[in-house]
Amino acid sequence: MRVEQGRVRGLSLHLDRLVRDCRAVFDTDLDPERVLELVRRATPGTGPRVVRVTVFDPALDLGRIGADAPPHVAGRLRGV
């Protein structure tokens, strides 16, 4: 997501996709408010930034595909 002046164009679409895909892949709900909080903390200041949000299962391996596990959220930030 490109963050400029504390705003993201199409933010609701980004969050909807993350929630939908988390449900499809991990069969669990993703809290969009938690994601927003992480993005806010990662983007202090006013300069343009790009934030990548990744939802993943750190225990996923070929022997455990389909096993229940709580997904984790990771973010990556870079300046533009």
- In whole angstroms, give the CA distance from residue 60 to residue 62: 7
Counting beta carbons within 10 angstroms of the beta carbon of residue 37, is it exposed (0 to 12), middle (13 to 18) or buried (19 or more)?
exposed
pLDDT at 61: 67
CA-closest candidate to residue 33, choices 11, 50, 52, 54: 11
The residue extents of the domains of the chain are 2-79
Task: List pLDDT tens digits, range 26-73.
Answer: 888 999 999 998 888 877 776 788 888 888 887 776 666 665 667 777
pTM as predicted = 0.74
